[in-house]
Chains A and B, each alone.
Chain A
């Protein structure tokens, strides 16, 4: 399987199963559109006939180069992974937790998928006792895995700061004896940040996600305080202080959400950059169809055009020396995840689980509150293996639409929660999300090529 596309005058051919990416000239691009997957040494007469506007020797030499790629397994290479059981290891220890330390929030964001913080389950704070049981749970169930990831999430996790501090301290205290290494992330709206919390986060969190939607008016239209005021002027100075004091080797993201109300979201990305942030992520909203900011298929042309505009803006900034990175345009074509990882992507439900303040376990943060997906509890160390197996069994081949998709080894089957929320079926890809993902990948690869050429 190959995927051909052009962007801003650059022509690409992706060989899906090998991961090869080729930039080609006009003649080779035209020839590649007429190829079949069983290439022969000689260029077929029908290709010469179809491309009569090109000199015969040009078509012949372009075909010869393409045939060379075919012989070396970089064009129409075979899908070796269909017998997926040979590649996916049996058993998948749980090694990552999303700790919902606070099912409460001090913002009232209009688009919140967590029902303004409590996931529809009532406002509560996770006691340290439950967090400790969750840490013990993941240590017990992580088998030989060394790296354990724990995210402090909510609601707003800084409302449970005491639990966060005690949990980090406890996990660190058992690292040596358990042979594990913990990595911590916190996602915060910033409202409760002060100098002490900033220092703590920068000292203890491997990653911090700072929620900010972009331009002041865009942010404040969605991200309001409990009293209905905009949050921008409160949070931005705190985020700036945090990033300024943070070790540049450690990760952070300024992360926003775009909706149908700001389809010119490239301006929001640039607005965040202009405030002094260089690791950026602005992502499509997940919402119900009846929301007036819901993204729908009719929005796709505008979204695609905006992603392309964003590539121009990023390229211009980078050429000026700015080190801006946009999360969904980051792609590692050489050193990325292995193909075994790419076969089933997200580990929700079997490698990664979310834990509520009450200790209940769900496949991920987006399933919290959906009772049919409740997997057990860290309080009594129970885990429904049936649900875990259901999630572990999904991959790019069980998701039938993914089988024939050129992006399958880049996105790895997408998001089970999005699939379920939109289609009621974990294996049925969320079509709108797929289209946006494919466009982002094309942009990401374009950026690689454009930067190589410049």
Chain B
């Protein structure tokens, strides 16, 4: 494409099918302890 470069495509919806295992980090507890950013956490199911 001439005008657009896609950095990340539509990945979020694909994760609904296999997601929800509940094994990942559950809060800010192992890191910052005050301000949570879920998007920087790791998926345990990859």
Chain A: residues with CB nearer than 8 A to chain B?
15, 17-25, 27-28, 61-62, 65-66, 68-69, 72-74, 77, 80-81, 87-89, 92-93, 95-96, 98, 113, 145-147, 149, 151, 153, 183, 185, 187, 206-207, 209, 251, 253, 255, 281, 283-284, 286, 327-328, 330-342, 345-348, 351-352, 364-366, 409-412, 414-415, 418, 433, 436-437, 440-441, 444-445, 448-449, 452
Q: In the docked arrangement, what's the CA distance between A347 and B5, Å? A: 36
Q: Are A340 and B32 in contact (CB under 8 A)?
A: no
Closest 10 CB pairs of A and B: A338-B19, A19-B12, A347-B26, A18-B10, A338-B15, A340-B20, A28-B3, A333-B8, A412-B38, A410-B39
Q: Mark B1-29, 1 if CB is under 8 A from A, else 0.
A: 11111111111110110111011111111
CB neighbours (8 Å) of B13 from chain A are 17-19, 73, 77, 80, 339
CB neighbours (8 Å) of B35 from chain A are 283-284, 328, 415, 418, 433, 436-437
Q: Are A441 and B37 in contact (CB under 8 A)?
A: yes
CB neighbours (8 Å) of B31 from chain A are 207, 209, 253, 255, 281, 327
Q: Are A149 and B25 in contact (CB under 8 A)?
A: yes
Knowing A87-B20, A95-B22, A281-B32 are in contact, say whether A147-B7 is a contact too (CB < 8 A).
Answer: no
Q: Are A333 and B7 in contact (CB under 8 A)?
A: yes
Q: Are B12 and A341 in contact (CB under 8 A)?
A: no
CB neighbours (8 Å) of B10 from chain A are 15, 18-20, 72-74, 77
Q: Which of A20, A88, A347, A441 contacts B27 (CB 8 A)?
A: A347
13 contacts between A and B (CB under 8 A): A19-B8, A21-B6, A72-B10, A332-B40, A333-B7, A335-B42, A336-B42, A337-B15, A337-B24, A337-B39, A342-B38, A409-B39, A418-B35
Q: Which of B5, B34, B43 contacts A335 (CB 8 A)?
A: B43
Q: In the docked arrangement, what's the CA distance between A242 and B43, Å? A: 28
- B23–chain A nearest beta-carbon distance, Å: 5
Q: Are B3 and A149 in contact (CB under 8 A)?
A: no
